[in-house]
């Protein structure tokens, strides 16, 4: 008999929630299960689905999970640097993971079947590998376009056209990871001088900067504005729910963030931790990722039809901007300070 427990505590609106998920053998004759602790920034529903799949393959492994937002998790890992309380990092932003201070706490490990992950999605030194991620996309309301006789935008360059004045909403990069990856990708694509000028030109057409990464898509879906700069999965979900929108992936390339995994050097349960990391690129894991993520880096698995019908290409790397994650991490504070000074309202 297998017994599972799943509990949630904390504040969701404060972006801090701790989850504990454990799977243990209920029979007295069963051997004691292996146990690990994973720190993650995956969403609560994603964690539950992924670990339900993991239980199918590893019923004897106990996985205790602490879930925090990327920034809060970064602070916690650094605070615990002298005495890490976890065995693995799981599904955490690469922009955070490449901090050299974090790198000192991790250990190189090449999971079984690591070749399923293309080199561009893993650390050259083997310190981390990314399995999932998310990317920028526009949610464009077809009915608003028709009513106002507007053309369908296809690029970031299109969004500065005078016809879209007051019709564009996008996330505030100071509060939204999606918003920051958009700003960072624009500055990387265009170079800083042209990039900042573009952002000022774009600002003339922006109706609102919204704190959430998903809300711009929802606002466009509901017809409040013509265009919501958001992320692809939100667009795919809203299309599936029947909203009259088209998902547009900017032709220059979509800014993106990868969610990566790593082994902690200080883990006291390395065999179990490595077993879990091996599982994260297994067939069962990859198939479940496709239910939740627009970016799945591992080969194999099947992209859901609703993703393809919404306009997501099966080869997602063909539309992803090749982000310089080190630049994004190193310049985050400076970029946000300049954006808040010159553009926030």
Neighbours of 108 (CB within 10 A): 12
Instruction: Please state, in angstroms and as integers, the Cα–Cα distance from residue 33 to each residue in 28, 36, 46, 76, 272, following that order.
Output: 12, 10, 24, 27, 10
Tokens 């990391």 sit at which residue?
Answer: 277
Element (H, E) at 271: helix 270-279
pLDDT for 33 equals 55
Least confident of 26-30, 132-136, 208-212: 26-30
SS3 state of residue 41:
coil
Query: Which is it for strands 34-40 and 61-67: parallel, antiparallel or unpaired?
Result: parallel
**Domain architecture of the chain: domains with CATH:** 2-133+257-314 (3.40.190.10), 134-255+318-342 (3.40.190.10)
* From 20-29, 143-152, 183-192, 324-333, the region with the lowest mean pLDDT: 20-29
How many CB atoms lie under 10 A from the CB of residue 144?
18
Provide φ and ψ at 67, rounded to 5°: -110, 125
Which residue, among 167, 102, 172, has the nearest Cα to 141 in the 3D structure? Answer: 167
- The yes-or-no verdict on residue 16 having pLDDT over 90 is no
Tell me what pLDDT residue 71 has.
80
Q: Which tokens sit at 186? A: 């624009």
Give tens-digit pLDDT for 38-57. Answer: 999 998 999 999 999 999 99
Which tens digit of pLDDT belongs to each residue from 63-110?
999 999 888 899 999 999 999 999 999 999 999 999 999 999 999 999
Query: How far apart, in whole angstroms, are the C-alpha atoms of residue 244 and residue 224?
Result: 12
| pLDDT at residue number 328 | 94
Confidence of residue 181 (pLDDT cuts 50, 70, 90): very high
- Considering the chain, what percentage of its residues have pLDDT values greater than 70? 90
Rounded to whole angstroms, the Cα distance separating 231 from 139 reads 8
pLDDT in tens, 105-142: 999 999 999 999 999 999 999 999 999 999 999 999 99
Q: How many CA atoms lie within 13 A of 25 on its CB side?
A: 13
More confident site: 299 or 4: 299
CA–CA distance, 128 with 124 (Å, rounded to integer)? 9
Residue 5 forms beta bridges with which residues?
Answer: 22
Task: Name the nearest CA neighbour of 197 among 244, 234, 147, 160.
Answer: 160
Residues sharing a CB contact under 8 Å with residue 44, sequence separation 6 or more, in sequence order: 8, 12, 17, 19, 67
Distance CA 222, CA 322 (A): 32
Q: Is it the case that residue 27 has pLDDT exceeding 80?
A: no
Segment 251-275 shows an average pLDDT of 96
Six-digit token pair at 230? 């958001």
How many percent of the chain have pLDDT more than 90? 83
Question: Mean pLDDT score of the chain, rounded to an integer?
Answer: 89
Residue 20 confidence (pLDDT) above 70? no
Between 262 and 2, residue with greater pLDDT: 262
Most confident of 23-37, 145-159, 305-319: 145-159
Q: How far apart are CA 249 and CA 153, in angstroms?
A: 10
Q: Is the pLDDT of residue 13 over 90?
A: no
C-alpha distances (whole Å) from 139 to each of 110, 152, 241, 323, 338 are: 38, 11, 13, 22, 27
């Amino acid at each position: 008999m297998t017994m599972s427990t799943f509990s949630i505590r904390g504040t969701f609106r404060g972006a801090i929630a701790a989850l504990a998920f454990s799977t243990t053998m209920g029979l007295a004759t069963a051997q004691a299960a292996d146990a690990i602790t994973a720190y993650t920034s995956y969403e609560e529903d994603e964690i539950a689905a992924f670990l339900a799949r993991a239980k199918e393959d590893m019923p004897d492994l106990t996985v205790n999970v602490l879930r925090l937002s990327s920034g809060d998790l970064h602070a916690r890992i650094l605070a615990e640097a002298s005495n890490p309380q976890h065995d693995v990092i799981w599904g955490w932003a690469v922009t955070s993971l490449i901090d050299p201070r974090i790198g000192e706490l991790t250990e190189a490990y090449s999971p079984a079947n690591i070749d399923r992950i293309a080199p561009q999605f893993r650390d050259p030194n083997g310190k981390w590998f990314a399995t999932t991620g998310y990317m920028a996309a526009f949610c464009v309301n077809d009915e608003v376009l028709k009513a106002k006789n507007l053309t369908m935008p296809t690029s970031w360059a299109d969004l500065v056209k005078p016809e879209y004045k007051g019709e564009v909403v996008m996330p505030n990069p100071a509060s939204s990871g999606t918003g920051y990856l958009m700003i960072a990708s624009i500055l990387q694509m265009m170079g800083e001088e042209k990039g900042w000028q573009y952002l000022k030109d774009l600002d003339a057409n922006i109706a609102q900067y919204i704190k959430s990464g998903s809300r711009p898509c929802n606002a466009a879906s509901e017809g409040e504005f013509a265009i919501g700069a958001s992320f692809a999965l939100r667009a795919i979900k809203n299309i599936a729910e029947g909203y009259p929108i088209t998902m547009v992936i900017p032709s220059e390339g979509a800014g993106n963030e990868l969610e990566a995994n790593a082994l902690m050097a200080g883990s006291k349960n390395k065999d179990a931790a490595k077993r879990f990391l091996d599982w994260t690129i297994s067939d069962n894991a990859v198939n479940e990722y496709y239910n939740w993520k627009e970016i799945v880096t591992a080969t194999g698995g099947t992209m859901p039809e609703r993703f393809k019908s919404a306009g997501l290409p099966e080869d997602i790397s063909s539309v992803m901007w090749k982000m310089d994650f080190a630049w994004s991490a190193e310049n985050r504070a400076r970029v946000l300070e300049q954006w808040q000074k010159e553009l926030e309202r």
